[in-house]
A and B are shown apart, each in its own frame.
Chain A
Amino acid sequence: MFTSLISGTWSQLRTLGMVFLHAFRRRETVNYPDEEVYLPPRFRGRIVLTRDPDGEERCVACNLCAVACPVDCIALEKGEKEDGRWYPSSFRINFSRCIYCGMCEEACPTSAIQLTPDFEMSEYRRQDLVYEKEDLQIDGPGKDHDYHFYKVAGLAIAGKDKGQGPDEAAPVDVKTLLP
């Protein structure tokens, strides 16, 4: 009984010492917000809508992000510009529901929707977490610098007629009988 009292006390004192010694170790926590946090480039945070290399909206309102979203927090409506491009006439993400899973980015066929390493989105009112298109649209191409959907889609839009895309043959002349 006497030995266990001795060893118990020693153990307590040793623990206190060890904890005390930790005060001199290197910090693992970051002094956020005074200090900036390092986030890897693939960190999934705030969602943005990007533009293609020509500066046009990349989103073509195909709705694949919306259907891929497991919490159904993306809603958008299709519009059509005069040049024939589809675009989202409205685009809304309810970030109070978003779980930042990145499935929308994975589903996007035009690299329009991308997740950025930004998580600083806190608001005092939940309603302010509903982002409309103007809150989402950015001016750059995001992570994908080259992709230009309408160049490869085969669709005719103003400035790119049928057959003018790479790997597109000139439109068929139905009146010719030549092979």
Chain B
Amino acid sequence: MATIQVDGRSYEVDGKDNLLQACLTLGFDLPYFCWHPALGSVGACRQCAVKQYRDADDTQGALVMACMVPAADGSRISIEDEQAREFRASVIEWLMVHHPHDCPVCEEGGHCHLQDMTVMTGHSRRRYRFRKRTHRNQYLGPFIAHEMNRCITCYRCVRFYRDYAGGEDLGAFGANDNVYFGRHREGVLENEFSGNLTEVCPTGVFTDRTHSERYTRKWDLQFAPSVCHQCSVGCNISPGERYGDIRRIENRYHGEVNRFFLCDRGRFGYGYVNRDDRPRRPEWHGETEETVTLDVDEALDRGADALREARRVIGIGSPRASLESNDQLRELVGQANFSTGIAEREQVCLTRMRRLNRDAGLPTPTLRDVESHDAILVLGEDLIQSAARLGLSVRQAVLARRERLAEARGIPAWNAEAVMTLAQDARHPLFVAYPTATGLDDVADRCLRQAPDDIARLGFAVAHAIDVKAPAVEGIDESTKATAEHIAETLLAAKRPLVISGGSLESTAIIEASGNIARALATRGRRGGLMLVRREANSTGVELLGSRPLEWALDELTRGAADAVVVLENDLHQRLPSGRVERALSAARTVIVLDHQRTSIWERADLGLPAASFAEGDGTLVSLEGRAQRFFQVFEPRYHRPETRIHQGWRWLQALRASLKRRAVPDVTLDAVTRDCARHHPALAGIVEASPSADQRVSGLKLARQPHRYSGRTAMRAHLDVSEPRPPQDPDTPFTFSMEGYYGFDRPRREVPFAWAPGWNSPQAWNKFTDEVGGHLRGGDPGVRLLEPTEDIGDYVNEIPPPFTSGVGEWQVVVLPRLFGGEETSSRATPIMARAAAVRLHLSEEDARRLEAEEGDTLVVETSLTRLSLPLRVDTTLPSGLVGVPAGLEAALVTGDRAWLSLAPEGEEEPP
């Protein structure tokens, strides 16, 4: 701690900070541009000037850039000093000299850091009357729009894109007054975190293109605290709604999870919520082919009648639905008839991972904590594709060596340029074992491209090298042994080693290998971590419900042991071969589907009930670190589209259960179903605490979902009826569907729908909500962790697979996760479809030669279950004997399957 004097008053601050951080943490409004809590200081923009005095006798003082001066004990500064104020005002005036006059048509307007800072310094009239510099724009892909005229050359974009996220295709070009930020030529921004440029850029150079088509100012959006449903990381998001559509996803600061950044799938993958073909009313697909849309009561009656007639009803849950919905389904059909809806091979992996989280001896770090590990081994995961935001944290962990080196020389960590220059290419060790190239290879020490079984063997060998009591790998070759020993030594030498693995390759051997390494490290007393990646938003949570896999449910139906099925938010065709699913569904007399998408199962159902997506419903998810987090309804769909009958899955199921028992449908609230779920499952007892209950009030007020400037309330639905209805009431949450309620920052709260503070309209307003800039939310970070390790370390597992050998004329399938297009819901969003790379079959150079196939030739891949033809991509990193198939294409292709490849006969083209 250090004591500094600001404008004559003394304050306690963290001495490791710079003056700007210290001032912002203290709550002063000091303007800045180039500094960012996650990117550090470079002193480029000269905006944060303050007066610094040597001692009490110094009346003259000197102007310094607050971001470049340490908050040393005894510092005396003045923010309000006349000279400092004038200096800051003139810096803004210079920055605005070339700034275009296009705020009305700028997508940043209203949440623009440059606007905020201009107002803060008091600059209001342009005195410069000469010609303005202009720039040409570039096409940067479906996610990001570019308007270079607005640039103030703060360099934040390239510092984030290149130095933080590891992108290579965005740079600063030109010299002196002509500096240009863009690509060397037009094209799609390749980095998976490009969306953060829209928040990192303090002005409107990079804006959200997916939002632009139906743009709405930030003050007109209705927000709710939500959790991203697009992978298992559980990043916190603030979706913004207007006129019944989600318009934009903003990052919601969480001090332990995503902090300032999201991946592009999370930010731009929301389009499925707005699809025109979404089911919005219950549908009855009778025997007469014709679809009848129903009202709620009719739908419940028909559903209840059908279920009442059934001998036995099977319930199929979903890892993309909330815990509450899954639990209500389980209540409806009974524990003995409930399936998680996860395919067996995946569920086995999930169960193993849950056990390891408890008894491998090492805790699961949070994403923020991942960044403080100093040696990382990734077994069988391409993190950038399967859990992108975690990959970004791993990158920071690897780059954090710079800060260690700087610390040893007394350079503060925030001094970004000095730290980078000092460290050059010095990095913490990262080892990645994966069948093909991964997104983290550029910062990895060693990339081991191996078949899944060999990755597992390597993992077991590492465990053995760390602790001889761990089972040894028989018949291991010398080079693998040497590699394993090198990895083991590196992990042991580290202060905090981290092992990351997961279910992407659906190999229990890999997961157990990582478990053995964790146990070995724990036995040797290392304070490390074990991170296990799951596939979907609620995979961890649904596994904790502890039920049978999807295959069991289908078999019960197929063999006639049950004749009705209720499927909850789950497109079964994405999980198991279509033939098997179809057989089961045709054996069932009644199929009831709840979903928010028109999936192939929905079309197949007798009764379809329109469930809420994350935007229209509330619920709880458990992320890969075992953190239960609540997501809240963003808007009430009936307000703008009165004909819709969308309800949360749990609400439908509760009502269906009541109808089935011929009881009146009770008024059920989120808190009640959450409590029920927690009571039914001891492992989930903590979820009640995941967020405040509906009766939380701040100064007697509920919390506002809408900013206080929300406009058009008396006109936006006036074409339907000039008499405005009462705003929708929300009995489930502490939030209101209006601007009435608390929206400020000075009373700490955990769930913040949107960040706004007086004078701070941009995402930089989050600094007002944290205990220190880049720290934790003052009201506590949302969520509770459910999976903490127990004291006893489990026994080593000896399930070492034999080494991989490629058969003659036979390949092993490896399903490769894809960030864009590899996930069920986000791949229904237009921008994600546009961004997804063309699907290709990956094959090694040697194998391609053996097949006499060339890049782009159509190949047929055949397994015992399916046949698929795809163009070939010669993958120089893939070991021979493996064939890589992109995820999300064909559920019948599973990692580990044997496959036969052949060149497609003339005339057979790939399917569209």
Contacts and interface: CB of A to CB of B under 8 A. Distances in A.
Contacts of A78: 214-216
Contact of A155 (B100, B176, B719, B721): B100
A69 B212 contact: no
**Centre residue among B102, B104, B174, B175 by max chain A CB count within 10 A:** B104
B132 A167 contact: yes
Contacts of B719: 92, 130, 132
Interface stretch (B358-366, B674-682, B705-713, B863-871): B705-713
Contacts of A96: 722
A66 B712 contact: yes
Interface string B101-143: 1111100011000000000000000000111111111000000
Given A154-B134, A174-B174, A72 B102 contact: no
Interface in A79-123: 80, 86, 92-94, 96-97, 109-110
A75 B722 contact: no
Contact of A92 (B217, B219, B713, B718): B718
Nearest to A59: B104
A71 B103 contact: no
A88 B461 CA distance: 65
Nearest to B133: A169
Contacts of A130: 715, 718-719, 722
B217 A67 contact: yes
A162 B132 CA distance: 11
Contacts, number: 135
A11 B862 CA distance: 115
B178 interface: yes
A109 B103 contact: yes
B134 A94 contact: no
Contact of B721 (A74, A127, A132): A127
A173 B175 CA distance: 10
Contacts of A22: none
A16 interface: no
Interface string A3-15: 0000000000000
B508 to A, nearest CB: 51
B707 to A, nearest CB: 10
A175 B129 CA distance: 27
Contacts of B220: 63, 66-67
A153 B215 CA distance: 19
Contacts of B137: 156
A7 B147 CA distance: 86
B100 A154 contact: yes
B133 A172 contact: yes
B714 A163 contact: no
Interface in B145-179: 147, 149, 173-176, 178
A74 B176 CA distance: 45
A169 B131 CA distance: 6
Given A127-B721, A127-B722, A153-B102, A73 B131 contact: no
A154 B709 CA distance: 28
A129 B131 CA distance: 46
A62 B102 CA distance: 10
A146 interface: no
B105 A153 contact: yes
Contacts of A158: none
A80 to B, nearest CB: 7
Contact of A74 (B109, B136, B711): B711
Interface in B239-266: 243
Contact of A72 (B109, B132, B173, B714): B714
Interface of A: 60-64, 66-67, 69, 71-78, 80, 86, 92-94, 96-97, 109-110, 126-127, 129-130, 132, 149, 152-156, 162-163, 167-177, 179
Interface of B: 100-105, 109-110, 129-137, 147, 149, 173-176, 178, 180, 212-217, 219-220, 243, 709-716, 718-719, 721-723
7 contacts: A67-B220, A69-B711, A72-B711, A73-B714, A94-B715, A96-B722, A154-B101
Given A61-B215, A77-B216, A179-B176, 12 more contacts: A60-B104, A60-B105, A62-B109, A66-B711, A66-B712, A72-B710, A75-B718, A86-B104, A92-B715, A96-B722, A149-B104, A167-B132
In the A-B complex, the 5 residue pairs with the closest CB atoms = A154-B100, A75-B712, A62-B104, A75-B715, A66-B711
